[in-house]
Structure 1
Amino acid sequence: MPGCYKASIEDVHYHADRSIDRNQIMRLADCTFVDRFENLLITGSTGIGKSYIASAVGYQACVLGYRVLYTSTPKLFAKLKMAKADGSYMKELAKIERQQLLILDDFGIQPFDAQSRAALMEIIEDRHGKTSLIITSQLPVSKWFEVIGEKTIADAILDRIVHDAHRIELKGESMRRKRNVEPENSH
């Protein structure tokens, strides 16, 4: 994961109020879900640790030799729009398709327009049953349909993403806020 910090599975905070199952995280860290072309969906409020867990699993996948791409969903679709304009769109899609694990962070932060929705459909269609996804979102999965828009396409995308996906629904207060109010020596 070029440019990604080393997030460690060992550093995940397993506080009871966060609804994180240590055994589930450890099973995901062995990356057999990647071998089985399964997805991981991580949802929860801002600052709760979704991106950190996605990064930690992604980093572990890199350590185990998998090809991983970590990207912010809004940035990816902005990049794909530019690629469409300069003629490098198919090359960008091919680069994404080659990754065994694609991590889409901040999914659904903004609604998809027609061009982004079409690109998402292409990415999901190309990867379905061949590779894995990790998606993080502040929105519960039940709200993704609205964010994707266009009923037929949203149905097709969600059917491929959500079917047999592992899910982590984080709860509790923001880890960032908590870190800023805790005394220095408390861990």
Structure 2
Amino acid sequence: MNPSPELNTTLKQLRLSGVLDSLEQRNRQAIDGKLAYTEFLAMLLHDEVARRDQKKLGARILRAGFALGKTLESFDFDRLPKLNRAHINDLATGRYIDEKVAILMVGQTGVGKSHIAQALGHCAARQGRDVVFVTQTDLLKKLHAARATGMYERKFQQFVRVPLLIVDDFALKPLRAPHDEDFHDLVAARYERAATIKNLSIPHNDFQS
């Protein structure tokens, strides 16, 4: 038994696509399971909430600027047996974001610092937090471009206010004026106000956080 076309039209008008997508399946479940009307309604509303949460997460991840597939689930911890996996899992809880802690990840180029940092960003996004992932070079380019158009303060505050800022390739190149002051001001503005992860490459095989 399919729901009426009129109901489908009403759900579209109300933008309840989560309900619409699962309506036929849930209707069948309700009939087969002889569910109460309130149970049927609760299932439909849960589907709608799940759809909206997933949509928000997708938008949050898109805004963050992560590379595709950089999650903890896809990281090969066996490649780095010395990496403290328990510590990474603790960071994945997001407690450091609540505590507004700055984290420095140090290791040789190519060992996986960027992957881990983005994976932690993914975890934060799943927890409902806004994240920005950016290389130090691109961050400073964005600030420089904003200064040229009179939008520097607005762009600067966007970087200041984001709950988690992940700066890749930190200190990879020497900074010159005014970039050095811009970056110093940003770090100072976020100190004890928001969490920051910085990735620093060094010429040896250790990876620490």
Task: Tell me the TM-score normalized by structure 1.
Answer: 0.71
Q: Is structure 2 residue 135 aligned with structure 1 residue 98? A: no
What is the CA deviation profile of residues 124-168 of structure 1, one whole-angstrom value per residue up to 9, with x for unaligned ones?
12111110000011138xxxxxxxxxxxxxxxxxxxxxxxxxxxx
Change (3 A) 1:17 1:114: same
For the residues of structure 2 that align with 1:88 and 1:17, how far apart are their CA atoms? Answer: 43
Of structures 1 and 2, the one with the larger relative CO (CA 8 A, separation 6+) is 1
Q: Is structure 2 residue 82 aligned with structure 1 residue 19? A: yes
Partner amino acid for 2:207? L
Q: Is structure 2 residue 113 aligned with structure 1 residue 50? A: yes
Aligned-CA RMSD value = 1.8
The gaps in structure 2 that reach 5 residues or longer are 1-60
For the residues of structure 1 that align with 2:192 and 2:198, how far apart are their CA atoms? Answer: 16
Q: Offset at 1:18?
A: 4.8
For the residues of structure 2 that align with 1:117 and 1:55, how far apart are their CA atoms? Answer: 25
Residue 170 of structure 1: aligned partner: 207
Residues 10-159 of structure 1 aligned to structure 2 (within 5 Å): 10-15=73-78, 17-139=80-202
Aligned residues: 143
SS at match of 1:136: strand
Q: Of the two, which has the highest radius of gyration?
A: 2
Sequence identity of aligned pairs in percent?
28
SS at match of 2:170: coil
For the residues of structure 1 that align with 2:105 and 2:82, how far apart are their CA atoms? Answer: 12
Partner amino acid for 1:170? F
For the residues of structure 1 that align with 2:191 and 2:140, how far apart are their CA atoms? Answer: 19
Change (3 A) 1:64 1:52: same
Task: Tell me the TM-score normalized by structure 2.
Answer: 0.64
The gaps in structure 1 that reach 5 residues or longer are 141-168, 172-187
